[in-house]
Structure 1
Amino acid sequence: MHTQGQPVTITCEQCYTDVTIPALNHCQQALCPTCHHDLLSFRNAGFQHSLAFALSALFFLVLSLPFNFLVFKSNGQQHSIHISDALNVLIQQDYVSLAIITALAILIIPCVVLIGIVFLCTGYLTNRRAPSSRQWYKTVKLLSQWSMAEVFMVGTLVSLIKVTSMAEVSFGLSFFAFIGFAGCLTMSLVNFDKNRLGLWLYKGRLPKPEPVTKDTATISIQRTWALLLAAAVLYIPANTLPIMHTQLFGNDEPSTIIGGVITLWQSGSYPVALVILVASVIVPIGKIAILGWLNFTVQHQYTRGKRTRARFYRLTEAIGRWSMIDVFVVAILVGLIRLGNTISVYPGPAALAFCAVVFVTMIAAITFDSRLIWINRKALND
């Protein structure tokens, strides 16, 4: 069996344990013995695969822009959209911030991440460390969690199910190109082992995370509480105000998130209703509750269930961005359904509030220092 590299020592960023890892075989992973965080993995030709998928994703991204994305037909009228059209309509409706957020999440950030992966993988495979390699490494690590192309693709499929009862929808070439883009982006990230690349960049030893002190622990707890409080306050208008308005023959029909779930359920679209319920209702509430519980336990120095709490923390990191599905549904429907007084869709004020809930909870997960689960704050030095 092919092995990779010599034994290395990595400091776990989630519990601050120093772990010596032997050479790994193909498809092996090294987990932290304390918190079970994924430290290192190895796949034969992993960086070659990551590079190939990244280049393919960039190619598909270029193809997804110039052609029709979706075509909407109703009562003899037809309207087609490009991805850029949906952004332009949001801007025309004075939702510039929502257009910027959507563009960043599904186009700009994924593009930057892919360029960084291409740059870093090429350097790794040719064993050339460019002066900017470490900056690109930090950028890819930071932005990969904010890349939401696959979430947008799921949101598109949900929006199609919502409108099939109103009209006929067909796919353009850009739709299939975007599927290829999202799929290749995901596979590129799966094969991209950030820690292994970091060991190469830093010549066998990853830089240690900043140590925890009493001051940094207090700041982490206070910031997390502030962000969770803000998210809880924003969650109220996000669920009580309309997330979109549908104008049908001059009549305005506002729709809230819960109202959309109920409508989908009553129409028989049970799987889609459950997806929206989980992503837009249960996940945000669950994330706020879990992070609040974790912050409370570290503030009051709980010592039980450390591994369970660490698993819940990783869960909040993994699922948080999927709540953006409903926001992307609005973005697609606003750009797609534009037939004047016959039928048109407009964004509602809840769209921005819900966006803010998702982002604030994601930042709260970042500000929460998971090492406090394992470290006794009373024993820390200032």
Structure 2
Amino acid sequence: MRCPECTLALTLPPLAHRQKALCPRCGYQLTQYRNQALDKVLAYSLAALCFLGASLPFDFMIFSSRGQFQTISIPLSISTLMEQDYLLLAAVQIMAIYLLPACILLGLIYLCLFLRRDRYPPRGAWVKRLIYAMLPWSMAEIFLVGALISLIKMNDIAEIHLGMSFYAYLIFTLCFIAVLYYLDEHQLVEQLRHSGQERWQKAQRQPKPPGRMIQRTWALLLAATILYIPANLLPIMNTRLLGRDDPSTILSGVVKLWQNGSYPIAVIIFVASLLVPVSKLLVLGWLTYSIQRQSRMLKKWRTHLYRITDFIGRWSMLDVFVVAILVSLVQMGNTMAVYPGPAAIAFAAVVIITMLAANSFDARMIWNPKLDEK
């Protein structure tokens, strides 16, 4: 095989339980072998899918203030956003926390059921590619953290209780994390190849040649930078209390949390919504520029930096989920209500575009910048 990040040709030795194989040049983890991993992926996928379905029909949170009560379920949360014409926020929420995780789980269950019988699943290569394409956009754990932050933010002015759906979604998230822990792409590929050598080879597409992605990455970074300005200057959320509006930007929301003594939450929001997006834009810009200059310095360090940037970038969606949850939860007319600000749309677009920019960046060119010329 070849390392996916530095293209070094490698021969993998047999691995014992929990042993990892790392690329000797760039340090990329090629695979990790675990005994009975396929059975565990199947078991946790089935459990996760059951709890995901169980989180739909019940109350997610219960909000009470001044004798008034408001309950929210996840389907109601999405429909509330759609009724207020915030279709992008509704689409992001339903795709990231329900549809994509469900499709990933169904795809894994499908593959595992065939592979356990040592049979090649029809269109198995296509299903495997689809699963790994959807994985970065599944944000169940980020949504759950956003729900907890929403609870803390509103705790001073109202009572919030957790419903049965919250606990069902919590167990689903833990099971989903366990699925990802036992899932290994290389081991899955080997099992697919072993179950149907000829059908697997026929289904393989020629890998895309590296390079010719620099212009696309620059275009996406430019678009994200332009959108990041209104995302920080305009209000991301507007709170109406007894007929008075209190708009807040991302930074002012962090300041309020800090002043109220919620220091850990203030730090989390600051890192996820301010530090991470700026760092990601700067790092991706610098990496792209270094490739254009055909720099051969600090190759391993730049590769590690790209991995970190690509991993943490999705957590910037945290503030968007907080706004979406509060908008759905707090709707009591002029007494108390929360509405998304124009910055919510801009910031969601920034996160999506920066993720696309990271996906379009070709880490192989760090090790061979001249690949862009081929």
TM-score (norm 2): 0.95
1:260 alignment partner, one of 246, 253, 264: 253
Measure how far apart 1:69 and its partner are.
0.4
- Structure 1 residues 50-80: Cα deviation after superposition (integer angstroms, max 9, x where no partner): 1111111001011100000000010001111
- For residues 206 and 234 of structure 2, the distance between their equivalents in structure 1, rounded to whole angstroms, comes to 42
- For residues 26 and 291 of structure 1, the distance between their equivalents in structure 2, rounded to whole angstroms, comes to 36
2:29 alignment partner, one of 38, 60, 75: 38
Q: Which residue of 2 aligns with 1:271?
A: 264
Q: Which residue of 2 aligns with 1:210?
A: 207
Q: Which residue of 2 aligns with 1:322?
A: 315
Q: Which residue of 2 aligns with 1:7?
A: none
Structure 1 segments (4+ residues) deviating >6 Å: none
- For residues 240 and 102 of structure 1, the distance between their equivalents in structure 2, rounded to whole angstroms, comes to 24
For the aligned residue pairs, the C-alpha RMSD in angstroms reads 1.5
Q: Residue type of the partner of 2:221?
A: L
- Provide closer, same or farther for how the CA distance between residues 101 and 211 of structure 1 changes in structure 2, counting only shifts above 3 A: closer
1:352 alignment partner, one of 324, 328, 345: 345
Counterpart contact for 1:11–1:208, Cα < 8 Å:
no
Counterpart contact for 1:13–1:209, Cα < 8 Å:
no
Counterpart contact for 2:18–2:33, Cα < 8 Å:
yes
- For residues 208 and 301 of structure 1, the distance between their equivalents in structure 2, rounded to whole angstroms, comes to 29
Measure how far apart 1:97 and its partner are.
1.7
Q: Which residue of 2 aligns with 1:15?
A: 6
- Structure 1 residues 142-199: Cα deviation after superposition (integer angstroms, max 9, x where no partner): 0011100000000000110000001000011000000011111111011111111112
Q: Which residue of 2 aligns with 1:229?
A: 222
- Structure 2, unpaired ranges of 5+: none
3-state DSSP class of the match of 2:39? helix
- Provide closer, same or farther for how the CA distance between residues 352 and 21 of structure 1 changes in structure 2, counting only shifts above 3 A: same
Q: Residue type of the partner of 2:242?
A: F
Q: Is residue 297 of structure 2 the alignment partner of residue 304 of structure 1?
A: yes
- For residues 366 and 275 of structure 2, the distance between their equivalents in structure 1, rounded to whole angstroms, comes to 25
Counterpart contact for 1:14–1:370, Cα < 8 Å:
yes
Q: Is residue 176 of structure 2 the alignment partner of residue 188 of structure 1?
A: no
- Provide closer, same or farther for how the CA distance between residues 91 and 380 of structure 1 changes in structure 2, counting only shifts above 3 A: closer
3-state DSSP class of the match of 1:202? helix
1:98 alignment partner, one of 89, 97, 109: 89
3-state DSSP class of the match of 2:334? coil
- Structure 1 residues 265-305: Cα deviation after superposition (integer angstroms, max 9, x where no partner): 00000000000000000000000111011001111011110
Q: Which residue of 1 aligns with 2:137?
A: 146
- For residues 174 and 81 of structure 2, the distance between their equivalents in structure 1, rounded to whole angstroms, comes to 26
- For residues 229 and 185 of structure 1, the distance between their equivalents in structure 2, rounded to whole angstroms, comes to 34
Counterpart contact for 2:292–2:369, Cα < 8 Å:
no
Counterpart contact for 2:96–2:139, Cα < 8 Å:
yes
- For residues 250 and 108 of structure 2, the distance between their equivalents in structure 1, rounded to whole angstroms, comes to 36
- For residues 314 and 376 of structure 1, the distance between their equivalents in structure 2, rounded to whole angstroms, comes to 18
1:31-180 alignment, distance < 5 Å: 31-180=22-171
Measure how far apart 1:242 and its partner are.
0.7
- For residues 61 and 376 of structure 1, the distance between their equivalents in structure 2, rounded to whole angstroms, comes to 44
Q: Is residue 241 of structure 2 the alignment partner of residue 248 of structure 1?
A: yes
3-state DSSP class of the match of 1:72? strand
- For residues 38 and 324 of structure 2, the distance between their equivalents in structure 1, rounded to whole angstroms, comes to 35
- For residues 89 and 313 of structure 1, the distance between their equivalents in structure 2, rounded to whole angstroms, comes to 37
Counterpart contact for 1:81–1:336, Cα < 8 Å:
yes
- For residues 137 and 372 of structure 2, the distance between their equivalents in structure 1, rounded to whole angstroms, comes to 33
Q: Residue type of the partner of 1:143?
A: M
Q: Residue type of the partner of 2:289?
A: F
3-state DSSP class of the match of 2:10? strand
Measure how far apart 1:86 and its partner are.
1.0
Counterpart contact for 1:124–1:197, Cα < 8 Å:
no
Q: Which residue of 2 aligns with 1:374?
A: 367
- Structure 1, unpaired ranges of 5+: 1-9
- For residues 369 and 221 of structure 2, the distance between their equivalents in structure 1, rounded to whole angstroms, comes to 23
- For residues 255 and 14 of structure 2, the distance between their equivalents in structure 1, rounded to whole angstroms, comes to 53
Counterpart contact for 1:155–1:328, Cα < 8 Å:
yes
